[in-house]
Amino acid sequence: MDTSTAMTLPDRSSEPLQKPSLMKVHEQRSFVSQLNLEKADNSQQIHTLGEEIQVEQAKRQGLFLADLEAARLGLVGLL
């Protein structure tokens, strides 16, 4: 295989490491903070929806039980 035509990357091992700019670090931290806030907000919304679902299920179950009791009382009255 002919490697003379292969593309080679420059050797940068002797170059000093570039420190990220302070502004870039600040932008990244701000972005991560925003993601964390959104995550917390989403978690709260999920929790709230879960509570609303439980309340709705309890209401429906209560209405169903009330209907059953009314039907039972109606049947007892017929006897």
Q: What is the pLDDT of residue 73?
A: 83
Count of other CB atoms within 10 angstroms of residue 63: 10
Mean pLDDT by 10 residues, the chain (79 residues): 63 74 90 95 93 90 86 75
Instruction: Tell if the pTM clears 0.95, that is, is over it.
Output: no
Q: What is the pLDDT of residue 79?
A: 61
Using alpha carbons, list the distances in angstroms from residue 51 to 47, 70, 74.
Answer: 6, 28, 34
